[in-house]
Amino acid sequence: MTNQWEQLLAVQTLDTTITQLDHRDRQLPERTVLADLDAKLSEVRAETAAAEAAKADLQRAQKKIEDEIADIEAKIEHDNEQLYAGGSDPSVLQSLQHEIETRRGQITSLEDDELELMEQVEPIDEQLTALAAQQVQLDDQAIRATADLATKEAEIGVERDEARTARDALVADIDPEAVARYETSRKRLGGVAVARLDGGVCGACHMKLSAVEHDRIQHLPADAEVECEDCGRFLVRS
Ligand SMILES: [Zn+2]
């Protein structure tokens, strides 16, 4: 009959492998790469939104000026109609002409304002083009990093599945009560519950057993439960 402690030591080895694989999975450099890319993408998106909002403000201001110009042009047209309607009072005609001049001056001034606004839109458009290119590049990198991560995760997944399958097969042959005690002990002792006793030295804490304890153990049956007197882990005798 296979020694139960020997079997639990084999389970322990697989559990340690699974823990290491989980750790390797969490620490995959591709995760950091992806997180960095996500952060950069969020930044680019925020900058794009801000630039678009600034552009929309300028366009609204531009539209307002255009409306004002259209309004004044309508008034000029009205003045012109009156002017050509054939009134003969020179003072009225002069006043109308003066009004038309004033309105044209207003239009010129508004057109200058509009031009200024359009000039302000130009660098924003350039910025938006650059941001869009940056986003395409980052999206591209993120797609590749995601694929790289998936590949690494799958590789680890295969190893983990193999270890779990082997573990399940081992555990099926061990007394469930012993497995339960192993699990409890493992949680309490930082993941390691069973160690090999080699030359009187505990394979987990590396402390040498006292001569008395070592002698006592030697005389116990092969499958007797033995614990390290220092760390409390189950010991497997060679
Ligand atoms: Zn120990």
Cβ atoms of 191 and 13 closer than 8 Å: no
192 C-alpha vs ligand 1 centroid, how far in Å?
Answer: 10
Query: Over 80: is that where the pLDDT of 228 sits?
Result: yes
Query: Over 70: is that where the pLDDT of 85 sits?
Result: yes
Whether residues 70 and 146 fall in one domain: yes
207 C-alpha vs ligand 1 centroid, how far in Å?
Answer: 6
| 6-35: average pLDDT | 96
7 C-alpha vs ligand 1 centroid, how far in Å?
Answer: 18
Cα–Cα distance between 54 and 42 in angstroms, integer? Answer: 18
Cβ atoms of 217 and 209 closer than 8 Å: yes
Query: Over 60: is that where the pLDDT of 1 sits?
Result: no
Query: Over 90: is that where the pLDDT of 2 sits?
Result: no
Whether residues 165 and 184 fall in one domain: no
Question: Tell me, what's the pLDDT at 91?
Answer: 87
118 C-alpha vs ligand 1 centroid, how far in Å?
Answer: 78
pTM of the model: 0.73
Widest distance between CA atoms in the chain: 137
| 46-52: average pLDDT | 98
200 C-alpha vs ligand 1 centroid, how far in Å?
Answer: 10
Which residues keep their CB under 5 angstroms from ion ligand 1? Answer: 202, 204-205, 228, 230-231
Question: Tell me, what's the pLDDT at 222?
Answer: 81
214 C-alpha vs ligand 1 centroid, how far in Å?
Answer: 13
221 C-alpha vs ligand 1 centroid, how far in Å?
Answer: 20
13 C-alpha vs ligand 1 centroid, how far in Å?
Answer: 16
46 C-alpha vs ligand 1 centroid, how far in Å?
Answer: 56
Whether residues 191 and 147 fall in one domain: no
Question: Tell me, what's the pLDDT at 196?
Answer: 94
Question: Tell me, what's the pLDDT at 47?
Answer: 98
pLDDT digits (tens, 9 = 90+) for 86-120: 677 888 889 999 999 999 999 999 999 999 999 99
1 C-alpha vs ligand 1 centroid, how far in Å?
Answer: 26
Among 223, 232, 185, which residue's Cα sits nearest to residue 205?
Answer: 232
Whether residues 109 and 191 fall in one domain: no
First to last CA, the chain: 15
The percent of residues above 90 in pLDDT, for the chain, comes to 88
Whether residues 137 and 229 fall in one domain: no
180 C-alpha vs ligand 1 centroid, how far in Å?
Answer: 20
Q: Looking at the 3D structure of the chain, how many domains does it have?
A: 2
pLDDT digits (tens, 9 = 90+) for 183-224: 999 999 999 999 999 999 999 999 999 999 999 998 998 888
Question: Tell me, what's the pLDDT at 87?
Answer: 72
Whether residues 144 and 196 fall in one domain: no
pLDDT digits (tens, 9 = 90+) for 123-161: 999 999 999 999 999 999 999 999 999 999 999 999 999
Whether residues 90 and 181 fall in one domain: no
76 C-alpha vs ligand 1 centroid, how far in Å?
Answer: 101
Whether residues 164 and 208 fall in one domain: no
| 232-236: average pLDDT | 94
4 assigned to some structural domain: no
Domain that holds residue 153: 28-171
Kindly report the average pLDDT of the chain as a whole number. 94
Cβ atoms of 181 and 8 closer than 8 Å: no
